Amino acid sequence: MAIVALVGCSDPLSDVPRLSDTQLDGPEPVAEVAAAPDETEEDVGFFQRLLRPRDVGAVDGDDDEPVASDDETDTVASEDAASADVASDDAETAPRAQKQGGFWDRLFGPERAETVTSERGGDAAGPAASEYRGRGGQARPGLFSNNKAARRTGADAREVAPGEVLPFGDVARACHVGRGDLGHEVGQYPEKRPKYRLYDSNPGHPGLNSFYITGFADGCPRQITAALAVFGAPSMYEALRYGLPESARTGRETDRAYERVKSRVCGVSRNKPCGNRIGRMDRGTVFVSVYNRFEGADGWMNILIHDGVIQAMAPGG
């Protein structure tokens, strides 16, 4: 009985080791599982780390806010440094780009360069294209365009103003004068199928008036001042000129211009008559003799016209 009582009072687990007294050999399995995300982060590529959205912790969080690992801290620092370097490079490059400009900028200027870039890029016509058309809405000529006003030369290079009266001996274009304002027709040349016509603005006045000649290539009448003006054919001119000895022939500008035209049309040398092609000369070439008086003129002029262009003008006599 006493032996049973002693057995009941003893500890049956006294020989079993306690967990708190046991020495663990390695890290807990839970710690190894927690380290798995860090290994995944290290295997992510450069562009994926660069472009991925960054985690932003809760504003009011304390203990629950995630702490960045050492690798993530180094990556963010390197990315910030790279961004700062790019921004610095852009800030230094921008003034140089504005100062130097591109190829089109140097060739055409800033406004035209924008237009060329827009056109080469295939964009629809926008503000840059409209600027190139100018303030009047008309396209301006380009660098290699042939749409340029030709510089006029010759006796009729200038254009007379409306209502202007020219001095005797001058000729000018009168593009503003309509057919109904030319006056009375006083001559035409040739007689058959006339190409040139002569108008007197005040035929009842015996003094100096404004005369107009039509038939020019540009469509503009030519204005002169005269008391009398008449057409003369090349055949008549040659009869008078080549009927004289060469020493007695004049050498005015109209004479020299006629020699040049005659050589092209008739194929003859200088100081030789046109010959059997004189009819061809008569059809496209004409003299206009202009006098300052009806009777007893003390001054007159000759104008040579060929193929709708004034070739020369010189005093007669």
The yes-or-no verdict on residue 46 having pLDDT over 50 is: yes
Average pLDDT along the chain: 72
DSSP string, 20-81: TTPPP-S--HHHHHHTHHHHHHHTS-HHHHHHSPPP---SS-SSSSPPPPHHHHHHHHHHHH
Report the pLDDT value the prediction gives residue 201, as an integer from 0 to 100.
Answer: 95
254 token code pair: 């109209």
Strands of 228-232's sheet in order across: 228-232, 285-291, 300-306, 309-315
Report the pLDDT value the prediction gives residue 316, as an integer from 0 to 100.
Answer: 79
Report the pLDDT value the prediction gives residue 17, as an integer from 0 to 100.
Answer: 59
- Which is higher by pLDDT, 33 or 270? 270
The yes-or-no verdict on residue 185 having pLDDT over 80 is: yes
The yes-or-no verdict on residue 261 having pLDDT over 50 is: yes
Q: Are 309 and 157 in contact (CB under 8 A)?
A: no
* pLDDT tens-place string over residues 245-254: 877 788 899 9
Strands 300-306 and 285-291, by their bridges, are: antiparallel
The CA-based angle 196-262-283, given to 5 degrees, is: 30
Whole-model pTM?
0.54
* pLDDT tens-place string over residues 129-141: 333 233 333 334 4
Residue 35 region by backbone torsions, left for phi larger than 0, else alpha for psi between -120 and 50, else beta: alpha
Helix axes 253-266, 234-241, angle to 10 degrees: 110
- Which is higher by pLDDT, 158 or 31? 158
Strands of 184-189's sheet in order across: 171-173, 222-226, 209-214, 196-200, 184-189
Among 15-29, 55-69, 83-97, 110-124, the range of highest mean pLDDT: 15-29
Domain boundaries, the chain: 101-132, 171-315
Q: Are 304 and 252 in contact (CB under 8 A)?
A: no
Q: Are 211 and 228 in contact (CB under 8 A)?
A: no
Of 7-11, 38-42, 225-229, the poorest mean pLDDT is in: 38-42
Q: Are 254 and 262 in contact (CB under 8 A)?
A: no
What lies within 8 Å, CB to CB, of 300 at 6+ separation is 289, 290, 291, 292, 315, 316, 317
